[in-house]
Amino acid sequence: MNNAIAILFRASTFIVLALFTFYPSYGQSPVFSLAYDEQQPIISPGGDLYFTLAYHPQNKGGQKDSGDVWFATEDEQGFSSPVPVPELSTKHYDLLIGFYQQSEVLVYHANLNNQQVIQSYIKDVEGWKKGEVIQLPGLKINGDYFSASLDAMGKIMVISMDSYGTYGNEDIYVSKYNGKSWSRPLNIGGEINTNKQELSPRLSYAGDSLYFASNAYDTQKGIEIYGSKRLDNTWTNWSPPVLLKLSQLQGVEMYYFQDLKNKRAFFTNTQKSEGFGNIYILENKAPEVIPALPLAKNPTDQRPTSVSNDRPNSSSPIVNSISNSDTLLVSNPQRESKEVVGISEKLDALANGEQLILENVLFKKATVDLLDSASSLLVLDELATFMVKHPHKKMLIEGHTDSYGNANVNMRLSLARADKIKELLVNRGVAASNLQTKGRGGKKPIATNSNEAGRKKNRRVEIKLIAED
């Protein structure tokens, strides 16, 4: 699990390059009809589909198991019903990183004590057997999220994690194998990595393009798939990220994987239920050229101008784009609603450490989109007005999800929701330095998760007074 790959693009001059990818015929049906979380799809050299499946009763740890390795074969009729691979799994989270060849794989294992290991497995006539533990020098994982994949030759590992030199919540790193050992993971730099999340990295078959998920850009889905082309052999010089228009599905999109042999690609989408990922196939019409045009970062994505020695610096300018709907005035005396009457009084009475639920600020399933934008914006206008009037007050914004789905996915989604509220407040004049964000996932429900009414209440944001100068 090594940290590595410094994608550092210097955009002092305008560069337009071509990035090849698949445009789908927009199939809307998942590969499997499973009521469980499917992650990290990978096609083996032999054509089998491997992936991580969470909270299935057949997992080694049962329904509390956050991910085992599963696989399915394919014939003319499509993919078979998937089955678990217990030899590659533990009672906790397991992720198949990639194949050296048909008979050798790398698997990431993590347990509840945050002990993590990358284990090689070799397949013989009796099945999968443990090989050596893979050592990544200086590996340091600070958070709960980890994702990694190998290139087609098994010599390059791209990793997403919170580690040393991280700009935001998760960054992308690269580690290279020299035939004997893996290199220390290297942060790929400030053009790809932002103050938000860069997740599920995958390299193209040729190793010249990087695909990853991010919530650092102004898009409707919150987290979507982007591509960047490697410009030289340094692993530090890349084209600006390009949004890949994978589908018309709503929900978070991650884990893009190209199956060039069959001219298609796979990805996951959380449309069905919050935190639940389904695997989809993109059957390409033909490879199309996508111009590598710069994308606008979210307004709260302010990359550091000075960094420690562990954190690469980027000289690229920050480009912000705010839609008209986001540039409302801090306060508008004409906007009144009984839903927000009393929030200022509640804020005035809020003591250090006390929490306040923003009751009318709710989210759509599996997204950072507000459920009722009109009602939510009234609350945020009121909150922003209070914060501007009291610049000495500092707030912690906590995002929450319902408890369905993968805990790691829910944690990332909850943080993205908190970041979204911060962004909207900053757009209304609140000093960004007075706002902190944190994701709680589905760990702190305020209502039942057994029905949609309760789950809707759990998909919420809370604020806490944390400091007062």
Q: What is the pLDDT of residues 344-372, one digit of tens each?
A: 678 777 777 778 888 778 787 777 888 76
196: in domain: yes
Tokens of 67: 């991910």
Burial class (CB in 10 A: 0-12, 13-18, 19+), 408: buried
With 50 as the cut, is the pLDDT of residue 201 above it? yes
Please state the domain count of the chain.
2
Q: What is the C-alpha to C-alpha distance for residues 42 and 205, in angstroms, rounded to an integer?
A: 12
Edge to edge, the sheet with strand 116-124 lists: 93-101, 104-110, 116-124, 127-134
Q: Are residues 35 and 183 in the same domain?
A: yes
Q: Are residues 279 and 393 in the same domain?
A: no
Q: Are residues 99 and 197 in the same domain?
A: yes
Q: Are residues 453 and 335 in the same domain?
A: yes
Q: Are residues 133 and 278 in the same domain?
A: yes
pLDDT-derived band at 57 (thresholds 50, 70, 90) equals very high
With 80 as the cut, is the pLDDT of residue 166 above it? yes
Query: Per-residue pLDDT tens for 332-349?
Result: 222 233 333 447 678 777
Q: Are residues 263 and 364 in the same domain?
A: no
The CATH number of the domain where 329 resides is what?
3.30.1330.60
343: in domain: yes
308: in domain: no
Q: What is the C-alpha to C-alpha distance for residues 136 and 139, in angstroms, rounded to an integer?
A: 6
Which residues form the domain of 207? Answer: 18-291
Q: Are residues 159 and 226 in the same domain?
A: yes
306: in domain: no
Ranges 32-36, 213-217, 305-309: which has the least confidence? 305-309
Q: Are residues 265 and 122 in the same domain?
A: yes
Who has greater pLDDT, 311 or 194?
A: 194
259: in domain: yes
Q: Are residues 377 and 254 in the same domain?
A: no
The CATH number of the domain where 139 resides is what?
2.115.10.20
Residues 6+ apart with CB under 8 A from 263: 22, 283, 284
If phi > 0 it is left, if psi is from -120 to 50 it is alpha, else beta; for residue 41 that is beta
Q: Are residues 283 and 332 in the same domain?
A: no
Query: Per-residue pLDDT tens for 300-329?
Result: 444 433 233 233 332 222 222 222 222 222
Q: Which residue has the tokens 């390009």?
A: 242
Q: Are residues 108 and 216 in the same domain?
A: yes
